[in-house]
Structure 1
């Protein structure tokens, strides 16, 4: 009898707890939220076939790395743009090494800074998902570091960053 009462009390508490949730309290995974910027990399000699750059490290300017050589070995990457500013800047370091190797045939730790500027358009989705940001008018500026530039050219493929289905920017090195 005591077991039955405890079971019924537990069941009643569970029903009460879950009855407070509404359908819009959970953001479905299928809801498109703020998109990431898709960058695809190409060798300057072969502009048709994507190629992963050697030991790439990407860091927000003045911040820690978001991608490093042990995490990144692909021909494209998705990076976030700032939702609170109209400019986002990243340092892209080619052939990143924590300790430089004087025997290396390729220059190590060659860093270029890429600044992305855009117009932010905020859209309210619902109570669970909140807001999403769409970016339009994408502009790109590449600044070489102290070494010569490793990014030789770029092409903006899409000026609007509203989905993650295709590349927005192609970088040629």
Structure 2
């Protein structure tokens, strides 16, 4: 009887050190990307498909991947023809710069705009398994170097070579389930 009690105590002590696996469930939202919807400038209510858009972050080795099933050497891996774009923001800086090239690969029709995105960051605890996520808030709309969007280096402009207008829909970036800005072209 003493052996059984001793065995149960040892087993209970052994199991007391166990804890559940800390695995961050993929369904838990983490750091959101900036969601941009594209619209026709002449008919602002109509979403407009991009044509071979390439997005390259300043300092990045490769453009953003839009089709990860393709090989790295396949140029179409880095092109999108969608009406929506999700751009990752830097979690350790308050700004990021992207070169957005429309009609990439077509030397006659290629048009490029450089867009600076300025924001503030807030860390939010998710769970022990997932750690923290970063939430973003676009800077207030001003005409200086801290404006939420600067196109081609000019804070006073709201348009560029192919971008005709930028409209902020939601300045707090908490999820990817909603549009944050609209770009008209």
**Common fold by TM > 0.5:** yes
Cα deviation digits, residues 11-30 of structure 1 (max 9, x gap): xxxxx9xx95514x011223
In the alignment, what sits opposite 2:126?
125
- SS across alignment from 1:48: coil
Alignment partner of 1:48 is 2:45: yes
- SS across alignment from 2:39: strand
User: TM-score, normalising length from structure 2?
Assistant: 0.71
Q: Distance in 1 between matches of 2:32 and 2:80?
A: 20
Contact 1:47 1:172 in 2 (8 A): yes
Question: How many equivalent residue pairs?
Answer: 146
Contact 1:40 1:171 in 2 (8 A): yes
Alignment partner of 1:89 is 2:87: no
- SS across alignment from 1:49: coil
Alignment of 1:109-148 (within 5 A): 110-138=111-139, 139-143=148-152
Gapped regions of structure 2 (runs ≥ 5): 1-13, 67-74, 140-147, 154-159
In the alignment, what sits opposite 1:62?
59
Select 1:28's aligned residue among 25, 29, 35.
25
Quote the offset at 1:49 in angstroms. 1.2
Cα deviation digits, residues 96-117 of structure 1 (max 9, x gap): 11x63xxx4xx22x21111111
Q: Which structure shows the higher strand fraction?
A: 1
User: TM-score, normalising length from structure 1?
Assistant: 0.76
Q: Distance in 2 between matches of 1:59 and 1:77?
A: 13
Q: Distance in 2 between matches of 1:54 and 1:135?
A: 28
Gapped regions of structure 1 (runs ≥ 5): 1-15
In the alignment, what sits opposite 1:8?
none
Quote the offset at 1:72 in angstroms. 1.2
Select 2:83's aligned residue among 69, 75, 90.
75
CA RMSD of aligned residues (A): 2.3
Alignment partner of 1:156 is 2:168: yes
Quote the offset at 1:62 in angstroms. 3.4
